[in-house]
Amino acid sequence: MKNHTLKISASLMLLICSSVAVADPGYSMSDGMGGYYNSDGSSSMSDGMGGYYHSDGSSSMSDGMGGYYHSDGSSSMSDGMGGYYHSDGSSSMSDGMGGYYHSDGSSSMSDGMGGFYHSD
């Protein structure tokens, strides 16, 4: 199983995600309040300030510029075009339709309702 976070890669968003860890292939459904329910049983709750509290006890804090600082010490920096550069050297590029192409070859496609379908 791979982990994706949204930044939506935990090292968002693979979440979309380091930040939202999801089993491959999987699905992340919006909770309607800025967070996500994931098909692997995990979830990410909005902190109300652009970040997330994750069900595994970790968190992702907004950096105020479209990126995140993750509680494991990693970070996801906005690329200014809807994607992210992750501190582990990976990246997530916007697909222009609300989803992402990840540098590991996987993708997260928007479901049109605030959630994602993840590929492996």
Digit-coded pLDDT (tens) for 8-46: 433 343 334 434 444 447 999 999 999 999 999 999 999
- Three-state DSSP at 116 gives strand
Supply the DSSP string of 42-96, one letter for each residue: -EEEE-SSS-EEETTS-EEEE-SSS-EEETTS-EEEE-SSS-EEETTS-EEEE-S
Question: What is the mean pLDDT of the segment spanning 73-85?
Answer: 97
**Average confidence (pLDDT) over 101-110:** 96
pLDDT, tens digit, 9 for 90 and up, residues 81-99:
999 999 999 999 999 999 9
Total-model pTM: 0.75
Residue 49: the pLDDT is 96
